Amino acid sequence: MDPIVPLIVSIAFALLFASGALEKLNNLSAFRMIVSEYQIVPPWTLAVIAVSLPLLELGIAGGWLLSLGGSQGTTLLMWSAAASAALLTLYAAGMAINLWRGRTHIDCGCSFAPSGGLSTALVVRNLALAVVALTVVIAPGDRPLSGLDYIVAAGATLLLVVFYLAGQQLLKNAMSLANWRRGSA
């Protein structure tokens, strides 16, 4: 694998987890309500979980960024990938449990823009992101990165952000359309 791939994945996941964490920390009461809506954890743990999850996400984002340099970069990269995959899978499991229960009205907690509720597509998205995070365990080639590689990585990361946001909007539109169809049927 070309060494630019782990660079792009690291930057993209650092952005993903940092933005998610900051959004949750900026509105802890709303995030606590979302965690409560999932009805998975005991109510007495809600306050701790509502703070712990975004702090964990910030730690993961920091791990991705710190893995970009230094002698401990490879080890930190592997831990960041594993933690990302585990957390994304945990989120997917919470969504899947509530889909199985028929509780599709819950906000996913991914962002605080109205999501239209839970869907199988959100579960698949999180599992796909977990797999992408784990791609960094494939040993990169020995090619040294050049200045052009960093420019390409920045452009590729920007493109991934645009694709991710477009995908998020498509998921929201699909859920809104499905809810509208149910309401007019």
Could you give the angle at the alpha carbon of 153 between the alpha carbons of 152 and 155, nearest 5°? 65
In the numeric block, which tokens belong to residue 143? 């090619």
What pLDDT does 113 receive? 54
Q: 70: buried, middle or exposed (CB in 10 Å: 19+, 13-18, 0-12)?
A: exposed
pLDDT at 164: 80
How much is the pTM? Answer: 0.84
Per-residue confidence of the chain (185 residues) as pLDDT tens digits?
Answer: 888 888 999 999 999 999 999 999 999 999 999 999 999 999 999 999 999 999 999 999 999 999 887 556 788 999 999 999 999 999 999 999 999 999 988 888 876 555 668 889 889 999 999 999 999 888 777 788 888 988 998 999 899 888 888 877 887 777 777 777 767 65
